[in-house]
Amino acid sequence: MLERLGHTVEFPVQQTCCGQMHYNTGYHHEAVPLVRRFVELFRDAEAVCVPSASCVAMMREHYVMMAEAENDPAFLNEVRSLLPRVFEFSELLVNRLGLEDVGASFPHSVTYHPSCHSLRMLHVGDAPVKLLRSVRDLTLLELPNKEQCCGFGGTFAVKNPDVSVAMLTEKDACVVQTGAEVVTALDNSCLMQIYGGLHRSGSKVRTLHLAEILESTGGLA
């Protein structure tokens, strides 16, 4: 989709993880080398597109503080210089590139789950909704109680599986209630959770990242 819009996309294959899982679970020291690795690999990029709101939240909320604790001024400077060039996928399109219509076509009904990190940490607002509204033939259906967490929460999902699933059950009931064919979000982690419950209960609702919808020019296979 980005190439269709005329941009050059590079994917440094050396990249692995932003460190969020370790950091949010309390493994703070273990996350530091991953932060260093990310900064090293992406420091020369014009814009870094991250198709995961929670990873961007990790970077914006914690990288500076982590770099400060490292007592390494050069590293801290690199973090500070890189962060303004890091964009969540919908931020990149709407805020950085000024786009709403990316030339996509998707003849399906879709409901949008605003993931917690995109909503309350990145404050992406209605950027993803603007993008979805501009997709040809797409019917956007409002998700009831949309701002409530899906219950994923990283390692929360396995450390507190019962509560996680109770939260998921509420979320999936709302998704099913919309009658949409597809539920989308800016975080594959939430979608993995939502899918896990939907598929177990036999629902046919598909989970797709927003990028997959915006890439489409004809709909689901």
Partner 1 sequence: MSIVVGKTSKAPDFPIAAKTALKNDQLRRNVAHATNVIRSKRALRVEEMPDWEDLRQAGSEIKAHTLAHLDHYLEEFARNCERAGGKVHWARDADEANNIAIKLIRRYGGIEPGVEVIKVKTMTSDEVQMNHALEAEDIKPIETDLADMIVQLGHDEPSHIVVPALHKNRFEIRDIFRAKMRLPDLTDQPEDLTNAARHYLRNRFLRAKIGISGANFAIAETGSVGVVESEGNGRMCVTLPEVLITLVGIEKVIPTFADLEVFLQTLPRSATGERMNPYNSIWTGVTPGDGPQAFHVILLDNGRTKLLADDIERETLACIRCGACLNACPVYRETGGHAYGSIYSGPIGAILSPQLQSLEHSRSLPFASTLCGACYEVCPVKINIPEVLIHLRGRVVREEQKTLGGKLSAENIAMQTAATIFQDHRRYEAAQRLARVGQTIFKRDGQLTNLPGMAGGWTRSRDLRPIPKQSFRDWWKIRSSQKDKEPQ
Binding interface with partner 1 (CB under 8 A)? 11, 13-17, 19, 21-31, 33-34, 37, 61-62, 116-117, 119-121, 147-149, 151-168, 192-193, 195-197, 199-200
Query: Which letter, b or e, does each residue of 127-140 get, where b requires 16 or more Cβ atoms within 10 Å of its Cβ?
Result: bbbebbeebeebeb
Bridge partners for 65 per DSSP: none
Query: At closest approach, how far in Å is the CB of 171 from partner 1?
Result: 9
Query: At closest approach, how far in Å is the CB of 101 from partner 1?
Result: 26
Long-range contacts of 159-167 (CB under 8 A, 24+ apart): 164/193, 165/197
Query: At closest approach, how far in Å is the CB of 193 from partner 1?
Result: 7
Decide whether 118 or 138 has the Cβ nearer to partner 1.
Answer: 118
Query: At closest approach, how far in Å is the CB of 78 from partner 1?
Result: 18
Decide whether 99 or 121 has the Cβ nearer to partner 1.
Answer: 121
What is the separation, in whole angstroms, between the first and last Cα of the chain? 17
**Are residues 209 and 50 in contact, defined by beta-carbon separation less than 8 angstroms?**
no
